[in-house]
Structure formats: C-alpha cells, structure tokens
Structure 1
Amino acid sequence: MLDFGVNPVDFRCHYQQRAPYRMQAALTPSQRPSWSLLDQLLDRIEPGDQRLQLYRNGPVAPAQYLGYRVHDGQARHRLIPSRIYDLLRGGASLVINRVEHDDRMLMQLCASVSKFCDVPTSANAYASFGGDGTFGMHWDTHDVFAVQLIGRKRWRLWAPTFPLPLSHQPSRDHLAPRDTDPMVDVTLKAGDLLYIPRGWWHDVRPLDVGSLHCSVGTYGPTVYDYLQWCLRQALSEHLDARQDLSVSNADSYAIDSALQTLIAFADSAEKRTAFQRALREPATPNAPISSAPR
C-alpha cells in the first residue's frame, strides 16, 4: 500500500535505527481517507477502554466529552463526537491507540510497514485542528513510521542523547536537547511518510489546519529480548543458577557455571532460529515484544 521509495535492504543498511527518512507522496490521493475516517473511529471506540485520550495542556478530563445513554435499562457512558470536535477546535489534540483493527485502511497501513520491516506493528491515530501538540519533546522506545493522512503537521527531530532505548527507558528520565537546532525540520503534507528511529527526540506541532496522521510503531526483537529468552530457556533447568544467592554468601563458582551455560546456549545459531520461530507464533497477533505503542 505504501510507496517507501527504497527497497528493504537499502533501508536497513542506510536508515533503520540510524537516521530519519522521508518519503513524499507515499500514499496516492486515491488512497488517502476523508474526515469520515475519524467519525468511524469515534463511532467504534468504547468509552471505557481508555484507548481514546484528549490533551490540551495535559490530559482533558473525560467528563468533558463523555455522556450517558440508557441501554438494556442501564445508564452507560458514551462518546459525544460533537464535544470532541469542539475541544479539537479549541486547541486540543486527540489520540486513539491501537487503531489497526478499527479500520481496514489502517490495518493495511500496518501490514505494509510490517511486511517492509518484517516485524510486528501497531498504530495510533492523532487528530488536531491547531494548538500546541500532545507530548512535547520526547523519544519513542520503538521505531515509528508517521503517515500524514489529512492536512499538514510540523515535525522537528534531534539526534539521540541515549541511543536505542529499551521499552523501560522512557525519555522523561532524560534531559531534552533544548539548546540545539533540530537535525530535521519538516512539514508533512497529506500522503507523506516520515521514519523516526527509536531514541530520536521529536517535537510534533499542529498547524492552523486540520490534521490527521497515523503513527505505525514497529516492534522488532532486540539482543536484550534474545538474552532474556535465553535466561528463561537455559538457566531454569540449571542447578547452579537455582541456588540461593546473598550478598554475604555469593558462590562465585555457581555464578561462573551459570554464566558459561548461558553463553554456550546463546551462542548458537540453532537457538537464535528457535527464538525467531517463537516470535512468529505470538499469543496475540501484531502484539509488541515488550512494550505498548504510544
């Protein structure tokens, strides 16, 4: 579906986890949705699943866009789209997480990125009519393919100060590079694609025009993931690894024995193949390895 403008091999060699990449008109005009897509998403989202959030100088209280309806004799929350649109016109930004199963076109976007990168994917949708944006300057702990569906949006990117963060290493624990000029400053137009490697600082700003974009996150395994898998596979059956350990009574022989067992297990092409095979049979289709999309 997406025209990446580069083949997967060249992308992995020159851009993947190395540098941002922009492709103009990755979606043809006939592939781009109308605002009815947002109407459909709002119609399908259940208010209680917390996938939908509004931000304006922080989270917007759900009471501002939720109402009640009576169903089977019980009062239940419901989204009120007119209130959501009023909030958007007032400068709020809307985020809907994991939208790949809510719309066929968004599912195809995820499938296109997944095939291109050969990893699981998930997608979030972002809508705004102006305002100051959603998260401020931050990094993501997964690679992102941002696809501008409607309107325009400004993206500014800075090089990593902590390269390749893992899922438990968010940007809020680090100082942002506020005194340096961005390495990338670009306005995406409808149909454009921007690849942001994990760990790259970015600040995304709405313009004075309606914008809807989809961020497709990729969740490939890391060496850290592989070694965690090896720990579970190899050492739970190893007697020395199951010994009690205390600061005052550390058995150096047991530690060395367990480490040697782990190294021998991990340094095996057969075990790496088994790990990759296990990833291809996830419990939940398209689920990330160890993190949730943002």
Structure 2
Amino acid sequence: MTTLASRFGRALSSELGVDFATRQVSNEVVFRHLDPELLEECFSWEGLNEILSRGSAEPAEFLLYADGKSLPEHQYTVTRGGRRVFDLSKMFALMRSGASLIIDSLDRIHPGVRVATDDIMRITGETSACNMFVTFDDAQAFPSHFDEVDTFVVQILGTKRWQIHGPSEEFPLPEYGDSDPVNCPESVLFERTLVPGDVMHVPRGWWHTVRGGGDTSLHLTFTFTRRTGYDWLRWVMRQALSRVEIRGNLDRAGTPEAQEAQAERILAAFLAEAKSLPPAEFFAAERRASGGRDLSSLPWDVLKARPSADAVVELVPVLPPVVHVDADQVTVTTADQNLTLPAEHLAVIELLIRERRATVAGLADRTGSPVGSVAALVSALLQYRLVTVSGGRTPRAERGTVR
C-alpha cells in the first residue's frame, strides 16, 4: 500500500490493525477513538459554512431530510441570476424545525475530505465516497435502516446516538434486499453515543437506528463498496461476449427440446469462460483500470518547461498502478492506459509509488538519478495524468511580469 496521505488515514490504519482486513470488515461492529483534532483537519463547521456561503454544493448532492423524507428543493432554494442557490434563511428555519442536512459525495468538493476518502480506499482497497450529516437536538433523519455498503462513521463535532441491530439477511445489494423498517431486528447488539473522535465501522446490511444526541452533531460516513460474487459474474459475462453462443439469438420459436439444448450450450460457454477467469483475474483487471481523480497542476499542465528541482510531485492513482518490467523497458498501467518508459526510470517510479509525494530533487537524490532525468520523467507522467506537480520555480520566460 502506498503511503497514506492524511494524518487521519494513518491514525485509523494504525488503530484498525491487521485483524480488521482479515476478520472484522463486513462481519462485526468495530469501534475506535482517535484524536478529535485529526478529524477536524478533515472537516469542521468552517468548512461547511464555506460550502453553504457559495450558494451551491454541486457537483455533490445537497439534501434536507425530515421524518425519513427528502424535502423538496424549492423549500430551501431561490432563483438568483438565472440559477438555483441556497436560501439560508429558509434552510435554517427548516433545520430549527427538525430537518437534518446531508451532503452526498462531499469528497467531490472539499479537499480535506477528498484526501481522507482516498485514504479509506487505500486502507480497504475498495471504491469509497464520503457523505456528511448535520443534526440538531434529537432529530432523526431516517427511520431504522441498513446500507448496502460498509461504512466508517466518523463523529467530527457534537454527539449522535447509535443503536446497531444486526442483519435481517446476509449481504444485501442495491439489486437485492428488503429494506422495509418492519424487518429491523428488535434486539440491539451495540449502543453508544458517539463523541468527537469516535470512529465506528458498520457492516453492510446491519440495521441501525440513529438520533441526534440532544445538542449538535456533525458526522461523516466514509462508505466503501466491497466486490461481490455478483460483480465477478457480471465481469465474466462481459468477457464472455466474445463467444458466439452468448451473443446468439434465443430460439423463441423452437421446440422445448431445442430451447433446452441452446440453454445448455450457453451455460457451457459461460462456465468455460468463468473457469478461465477466476476472481484473481477480476481483481487484477480492476487494478489495471483503477485510476485517480482528475486534478489540475497549473502552471505545469501547460508549460513546456520541465518541473524544477524543488517542485513537489504527487502520485494521482489512489491505488498503486501496475508496473511491469520487460528487458530494457518498464510499463506503468493505470486507468486502462499504458505508459512505456526506459527501465532506467524504474527506481524513481517505485519510490514515487511507495512514498506517493516527493520533490524532484528528493526523487533524484534517493535513487541516484540525474535531476534532469527525473524532471523529464515527471513531465511524461504529468502528460498521462499520473502525477500532479505543485510549487517549484517556473522558468523566467514563462513568468508574468509587472508592467
């Protein structure tokens, strides 16, 4: 695993230990307590106020919930300058009446949350996202429910009362599962009022009942979607499209015997494909396709000059890219694209994957490579969106001048 980017991610990984990945994830509630200051580095009232003051949370999804229902947007927005923006007076009145504020995909608009979310992905190896919940008094946004994803609940500010009831069926999916609250088990397996610094893992499919703690509450949920047998089978089916038996027309007008024979041929073709593509191949293909967020590195994205020795280089892919060495070449694969480079760059690439962030000079010094060679490599990686570059001295010809 590449070096985690946030103090929160490093602290959480240390607290979870190896048992979480090997035994506890998706199987039991896990509770830990971190330094609250680490969590406020991720998000705070100031961060929320800045978002609200923009008048919009796009491209994240902004919702107000009360009594288990999403409130219509027109109740808390107004049209100004041809666009819909928040009406904070209306919004706060609704919240005083018991509405809870939710921002889905907060990681898409807040840098600190984005870095923490990417660390959750590095810890779990799964696709991750972050949602924010704000509740006042003892308000309850949702009735008892379960989520089809595993979740880290992170209490940032205030308190929230949680009851975990356990599952009513094993491993529900968005495509399968009965989430009617009448199915919530009556028994309570875990109960706690979370305070700032508390982190709790709630397994997929485990029912929970949540209320405000009586004053204020701001918490984040980092969700991560584990791969299932259904995901593997869907992937195998896509690969099996190369087989004519899978693509062929079903024999609607045929006899029952002919239809049964065709079904046998289709199943045989699919099983042959599945046996040649075990889950390990699925995971490998997923890693090759995994990339990172599309981030800007101006001015270096446009400048023709190579980054200077003091420029800071950061790896973009969240999960380590696949590196293949063949004779005098090294190929880096991420987001289903291949970048082939001379093998002399291997040491720099491996160091960057391991450390994730370093200066051009630091990469050169620690690998014994010429600074110019590293700068050239970074320029190539930048064009393929594999790294970001920040800081550094821009060449005098590209610098702006005051007139």
Aligned to 1:252: 260
**What's the CA shift string for 1:162-182, capped at 9, x where partnerless?**
11011223543573235x221
* SS of structure 2 residue aligned to 1:159: strand
Aligned to 1:87: 94
Whether contact under 8 Å (2:156, 2:220) holds in the other structure is yes
CA distance in 2: counterparts of 1:243 and 1:30, whole angstroms = 58
Pairing of 1:160-175 with structure 2 (within 5 A):
160-173=167-180, 175=182
Residue 29 (str. 1) matches residue 70 (str. 2)? no
TM (normalized to structure 2)?
Answer: 0.63
Aligned to 1:191: 197
Aligned to 2:208: 202
Measured at CA, do residues 171 and 284 of structure 1 come closer, stay the same or move farther in structure 2, by a change above 3 Å?
A: farther
Shift of 1:78: 1.0
CA distance in 2: counterparts of 1:160 and 1:151, whole angstroms = 28
Equivalent residue for 2:243, pick from 238, 246, 250: 238
CA distance in 2: counterparts of 1:161 and 1:34, whole angstroms = 35
Aligned to 1:40: 50
Aligned to 1:118: 125
TM (normalized to structure 1)?
Answer: 0.84
Aligned to 2:76: 65
Higher radius of gyration, 1 or 2: 2
Measured at CA, do residues 145 and 192 of structure 1 come closer, stay the same or move farther in structure 2, by a change above 3 Å?
A: same
CA distance in 2: counterparts of 1:130 and 1:65, whole angstroms = 20
Aligned to 1:103: 110
CA distance in 2: counterparts of 1:93 and 1:119, whole angstroms = 28
CA distance in 1: counterparts of 2:229 and 2:78, whole angstroms = 47
Residue 225 (str. 1) matches residue 231 (str. 2)? yes
CA distance in 2: counterparts of 1:16 and 1:45, whole angstroms = 38
Residue 18 (str. 1) matches residue 27 (str. 2)? yes
CA distance in 2: counterparts of 1:207 and 1:219, whole angstroms = 28
CA distance in 2: counterparts of 1:224 and 1:266, whole angstroms = 13
Q: Could you tell me the percent identity over the aligned residues?
A: 25
Shift of 1:148: 0.7
**What's the CA shift string for 1:180-211, capped at 9, x where partnerless?**
22111111111111101110001111121111
Structure 2 gap ranges (5+): 1-7, 294-316, 318-403
Counting matched residue pairs gives 278
CA distance in 2: counterparts of 1:47 and 1:116, whole angstroms = 27
Which one-letter code corresponds to 1:244 in the other structure?
A: L
Measured at CA, do residues 181 and 135 of structure 1 come closer, stay the same or move farther in structure 2, by a change above 3 Å?
A: same
Which one-letter code corresponds to 1:253 in the other structure?
A: A
Which one-letter code corresponds to 2:245 in the other structure?
A: D
Shift of 1:91: 1.3
Which one-letter code corresponds to 1:129 in the other structure?
A: F
* SS of structure 2 residue aligned to 1:140: coil
Which one-letter code corresponds to 1:59 in the other structure?
A: S
**What's the CA shift string for 1:102-137, capped at 9, x where partnerless?**
112211221221111111101111011124311211
Aligned to 2:374: none
Measured at CA, do residues 155 and 81 of structure 1 come closer, stay the same or move farther in structure 2, by a change above 3 Å?
A: same
Shift of 1:157: 0.8
Shift of 1:68: 2.6
Higher relative contact order (CA 8 A, sep 6+): 1
Measured at CA, do residues 34 and 98 of structure 1 come closer, stay the same or move farther in structure 2, by a change above 3 Å?
A: closer
Shift of 1:90: 2.2
Whether contact under 8 Å (1:140, 1:171) holds in the other structure is no
Alignment root-mean-square deviation, CA: 2.6
- Higher share of residues assigned helix: 2
Structure 1 gap ranges (5+): 287-294
Measured at CA, do residues 40 and 202 of structure 1 come closer, stay the same or move farther in structure 2, by a change above 3 Å?
A: same
**What's the CA shift string for 1:199-243, capped at 9, x where partnerless?**
000111112111111111102221111111111211x23233324
* SS of structure 1 residue aligned to 2:64: strand
* SS of structure 2 residue aligned to 1:164: coil
Whether contact under 8 Å (2:144, 2:184) holds in the other structure is no
